[in-house]
Amino acid sequence: MTPHARAGDLAIETRALTKRFGHQTAVDAIDLAVPLGSVFGFLGPNGSGKTTSIRVMLGLAAATSGEVSLLGEPMPGRLSRVLPQVGALVEGPAFYPFLSGAANLGRLDSADRAAPTRTRRARVDRALERVGLSNAAGKKVSAYSLGMKQRLGIANALLMPRRLLVLDEPTNGLDPQGTREVRALVRSLAGEGTTVFVSSHLLAEVEHMCTHAAIMSAGRLVAQGTLDELRAGEARVRVCTPDAAAAIRVLAGSGLVAGVEPAPDDLGDRGAGLAADGSVDRWVSAPLEPGDVPPETLVAALVAGGVRVRGFHVQNTSLEDRFVALTGEGFDVVR
């Protein structure tokens, strides 16, 4: 899938970006296009090259070849100009365990030459409030849970106003409530005009948060675009009925090429099987293309044709389906 945005509309752009470690290619000539103002999910299983790509983008590692630009500026040449506009959480946060959360943020803020000293305390308090750590501000980080440390890392990325926020696995270690809060935070930041780049292997989180996504597999970028573009694929109409032959005839009369599925699937109580009257329910399915007969018209035609409809389902391609089709690998899915 090719990017549609022009270079001036991109927060992150890479061209043939490649990173090798000896004879091993970790990132293989990727062309990434992250639109300004988007919440962009960077998807892929562990080891697919996501974190290495991020490290190269942020100037934390040198590319073997290829080009990177952040906020329209070439990297790493304009590093000192670009990085003050970028907040990042990469490979988990690291803090002084004997200092409090607020003291850690104060130290990190003091290392930022662009951060004004006189408003430091207010910025630290505001950042802690945004990630729900105000009540733990004075607690030593050694007593923080993994999820609290993750939130503190996000707070560090938010100490100064940022045009671009890069988060590597931001919900790692968070409980469901913390995950929802991070999700709401990401949405609020996007609403304020910040571009948020989220690397994750959790499909459900990306689907909840993101407007765009890219899929990595074994160092290669295999697809990117809006979520709707990534989900695009064949839809199928599926009918559960004991009258399979009649259903096939009716669907054929509506221009669909239908067939009986070989076995019941995993649709729970909608799965085919033995009905209460002793008849055998089967699933009949057919590809449904844009412009074909609407589903409600198909149901009416089936009933009018004497077909006993015991289940009807339009199955669209999911993001998980697309991932498996593109990479041949499973995906960690948290519902």
Both 132 and 12 in a single domain? yes
**Predicted local distance difference test score (pLDDT) of residue 2:** 43
Mean of pLDDT values over 41-64: 91
Both 36 and 135 in a single domain? yes
Residue 1 lies in a domain: no
What the block records as the tokens of 67 is 């080009």
Per the structure, how many domains does the chain have? Answer: 2
Residue 39 lies in a domain: yes
Both 97 and 124 in a single domain? yes
Q: pLDDT per residue over 252-284, tens digit each?
A: 999 999 989 875 544 444 445 555 565 789 999
Return the CATH number at 268. 3.30.70
**Predicted local distance difference test score (pLDDT) of residue 182:** 82
Residue 209 lies in a domain: yes
Both 125 and 216 in a single domain? yes
Both 128 and 246 in a single domain? no
**Predicted local distance difference test score (pLDDT) of residue 333:** 41
Q: Which of 274-278, 279-283, 290-294, 307-311 has the lowest mean pLDDT?
A: 274-278
Mean of pLDDT values over 221-225: 91
At which of 188, 206, 231 does a domain end?
231
Return the CATH number at 73. 3.40.50.300
Q: What would the DSSP string read from start to end of 133-154?
A: -GGGTTSBGGG--HHHHHHHHH
Q: pLDDT per residue over 4-16, tens digit each?
A: 455 568 999 999 9
**Predicted local distance difference test score (pLDDT) of residue 273:** 57
CB 325 within 8 A of CB 331: no
Residue 145 lies in a domain: yes
Q: How far is CA 79 from CA 74, 83, 84, 105, 156, in A?
A: 8, 6, 9, 22, 19
pLDDT above 90: percentage of residues in the chain? 51
Both 240 and 212 in a single domain? no
pLDDT higher than threshold 90 for residue 170: no
- In angstroms, what is the C-alpha Rg of the chain? 25
Residue that wins the pLDDT comparison between 267 and 251: 251
Both 154 and 226 in a single domain? yes
What the block records as the tokens of 176 is 């469901």
**Predicted local distance difference test score (pLDDT) of residue 274:** 57
Residue 331 lies in a domain: no
Mean of pLDDT values over 290-315: 91
**Predicted local distance difference test score (pLDDT) of residue 42:** 94
**Predicted local distance difference test score (pLDDT) of residue 252:** 93
Mean pLDDT (the chain) is: 85
Residue 131 lies in a domain: yes
Q: Which of 154-168, 175-189, 209-223 has the lowest mean pLDDT?
A: 175-189
Both 178 and 300 in a single domain? no
Both 58 and 122 in a single domain? yes
What's the predicted TM-score (pTM) here?
0.73
Cβ burial, residue 321 (10 Å; 0-12/13-18/19+): middle
Mean of pLDDT values over 132-156: 91
Torsion of CA 129, 134, 139, 141, to 10 degrees: -20
**Predicted local distance difference test score (pLDDT) of residue 8:** 67
First CA to last CA distance, the chain: 27
Q: pLDDT per residue over 13-32, tens digit each?
A: 999 999 999 999 999 999 99
Cα–Cα distance between 214 and 10 in angstroms, integer?
14
Q: Which residue has the tokens 């630290």?
A: 124
- pLDDT band at 1, cuts 50/70/90? very low
pLDDT higher than threshold 70 for residue 295: yes
Q: List the one residue out of 324, 241, 329, 326 whose CA is nearest residue 285.
A: 241
Residue that wins the pLDDT comparison between 87 and 4: 87
**Predicted local distance difference test score (pLDDT) of residue 327:** 65
Both 268 and 218 in a single domain? no
Mean of pLDDT values over 185-192: 87
Mean of pLDDT values over 111-117: 85
Region for 294 from its dihedrals, namely left if φ exceeds 0, alpha if ψ lies in -120 to 50, beta otherwise: beta
Mean of pLDDT values over 188-213: 88
Mean of pLDDT values over 51-72: 94
**Predicted local distance difference test score (pLDDT) of residue 277:** 61
Cα–Cα distance between 27 and 275 in angstroms, integer?
53
pLDDT higher than threshold 60 for residue 329: no
Range of the domain at 275: 235-316
Both 216 and 268 in a single domain? no
pLDDT higher than threshold 60 for residue 332: no
Q: Tell me: cis bond preceding 97? Omega within 30 of 0 counts.
A: no
Both 273 and 224 in a single domain? no
What the block records as the tokens of 138 is 């004075």
pLDDT higher than threshold 60 for residue 317: yes
Residue 330 lies in a domain: no
